[in-house]
Amino acid sequence: MKRNVVVGQSGGPTAVINSSIAGVYFEAKQQGYQKVYGMIHGIEGFLQGKIVDLDEYLADPMGIELLKRTPSAFLGSCRFKMPAIEGHEDVYQKIIDIMEENEIDTLFYAGGNDSMDTVKMLSDYAAATGRKQTFMGVPKTIDNDLPITDHCPGYSSAAKYIGTSIKEIIRDNESFGAAKPTIVVVEIMGRHAGWLTAAAALAKGDDCSGCDAIYLPERTFDLDEFMAKVKHLAATKHSVVIAVSEGIHTADGKFVCEAGGAVLPVDAFGHKQLGGTASNLCRIIAAETGLKTRAIEFSTLQRAGSHISSLTDVNEAFESGRASARAAAEGKTALMPVLVRESQDPYLCGIDLHDIHDIANVEKPVPDEFITEDGCGITEAYLEYARPLIMGELIPVYVDGLPRHLVMKELFD
């Protein structure tokens, strides 16, 4: 008889990471596992023995439906870097011991690059010490920068949010017929990769003129060229909307948000917490041109907007969770489901499994063919890639006029 499994979430949340948890739960039960535990606040909480039996929330199918409509990490997240195995065997052994105590055969971890590193390290330790426990990744990141997979669950919903919001911003800014335009700079997440910022290009269509310029971290940012572009746009248009990645940096490697000597906090993985790029640029634009500016930072909103999730994304996140659980039931370990685009029109995506060692810690940048020659625009090839991903909507369950979420009370104990 199959024993138990545990699933955890880690890193920045997305609008659909909970769909993946629902998928793991659903499939693990189908495969005959007894208990599906959730780890509270990822591996950090697990090391303190914090787990919860998910039957309490998900045994009722309505629980799964609500979870699919709940943004953020239902189980709680963490940014916890596993130490090197050598010299820290006790940390790894503790995780194995907690698994053994709770008769847990497999640990699933949903996250991005850093979280896949955790899966890799744990599976390496288990292999090196001859343990029978298995470890599986479940992909998630709004940044869309995991390699091998066509795209990452979480990206498409954030892209849909960004395309929609940029469209609404352009609509708003175009409504003023003033002789001098307001310059709007919108800052979008994606630390080192510009996938999310590229999604600003989705706004353009029959009813929207689209962004005037889009700056990704894949290209070095030149302030003089940027200002020349802004001045030209201001002289020729009555509305200017520009999208910039939070990760744009100048030739000296400094983030634009660090300009003016800002000291950015650093997380456990050594990542600087970015933010303030749009405000910095607006300050410079206003000082040099005297024009009215508006800085908009999508910040948390772009990864928490489950009211506008892509149904394609929700389904792919759920199926990725299921694929991971199915593979674990077959005795596999150290793998992550990857999305494989089988057909573009009609859009069809299958799921394969790939060795975690090729995925952990590798960041996939936006390829050259998706960026225009001048470095501040997005090509049609990107739009062809991204458009199918944002298709479909999952309507929230509304209570008192607001979307209803599933909340785990143990998170607040």
Least distance (Å) between residue 233 CB and ligand F6P: 27
* Integer Cα distance of 411 and 195 in angstroms: 32
Strands 335-344 and 347-355 turn out to be: antiparallel
Q: By CB neighbour count within 10 A (0-12 exposed, 13-18 middle, 19+ buried), where does 215 fall?
A: buried
CB-nearer residue toward ligand F6P: 105 or 114 = 114
Concatenated DSSP letters for 74-94? TT-----PPPPSTT-HHHHHH
Site for ligand F6P contains 303 (CB under 6 A): yes
Site for ligand F6P contains 366 (CB under 6 A): no
CB-nearer residue toward ligand F6P: 238 or 271 = 271
The C-alpha torsion from 392 through 341 and 327 to 42, rounded to 10°, is -60
Only segment of 118-126, 172-180, 185-193, 401-409 that touches ligand F6P (CB under 6 A): 185-193
Question: 114, 117, 143, 145: which one is catalytic?
Answer: 143
* Integer Cα distance of 143 and 165 in angstroms: 18
Strands 134-139 and 347-355 turn out to be: unpaired
**Which x/- pattern, by CB under 6 A, does the window 134-173 give for ligand F6P?**
-------xxx------------------------------
355 classed as catalytic: no
* Total site size for ligand F6P, rule CB under 6 A: 13
Binders of ligand F6P among residues 307 to 336 (CB under 6 A) are none
Least distance (Å) between residue 142 CB and ligand F6P: 5
Q: Is the peptide bond before 388 cis (omega within 30 degrees of 0)?
A: no
Cβ-based neighbours of 361, under 8 Å, separated by 6 or more: 113, 114, 116, 117
| Lookup: tokens for 333 | 């370990």
CB-nearer residue toward ligand F6P: 50 or 191 = 191
CB atoms within 10 A of CB 179: 5
Least distance (Å) between residue 191 CB and ligand F6P: 4
Q: Which has the closest alpha carbon to 96: 127, 54, 138?
A: 127
Closest chain position to ligand F6P (CB): 12
Q: Which of 190, 194, 210, 377 binds ligand F6P (CB under 6 A)?
A: 190
CB-nearer residue toward ligand F6P: 77 or 106 = 77
Q: Which of 96, 189, 335, 406 binds ligand F6P (CB under 6 A)?
A: 189
Only segment of 169-177, 189-197, 317-325, 373-381 that touches ligand F6P (CB under 6 A): 189-197
Site for ligand F6P contains 408 (CB under 6 A): no
Residue-level length of the chain: 413
Binders of ligand F6P among residues 101 to 120 (CB under 6 A) are 112
Least distance (Å) between residue 143 CB and ligand F6P: 5
* Residues 126, 130, 133, 135, CA torsion sign: positive
Q: Which has the closest alpha carbon to 159: 63, 286, 291, 303?
A: 303
Q: Which has the closest alpha carbon to 332: 141, 149, 134?
A: 134
The greatest distance separating any two alpha carbons of the chain, rounded to the nearest whole angstrom, comes to 74
Least distance (Å) between residue 276 CB and ligand F6P: 12
Binders of ligand F6P among residues 250 to 279 (CB under 6 A) are 267, 273-274
| Lookup: tokens for 57 | 């929330």
CB-nearer residue toward ligand F6P: 144 or 324 = 144
Site for ligand F6P contains 12 (CB under 6 A): yes
* Integer Cα distance of 308 and 316 in angstroms: 16
| Lookup: tokens for 315 | 């389904």
Site for ligand F6P contains 198 (CB under 6 A): no
Least distance (Å) between residue 325 CB and ligand F6P: 24
Q: Which residues are catalytic?
A: 143
Site residues, ligand F6P (CB under 6 A): 11-12, 112, 141-143, 189-191, 267, 273-274, 303
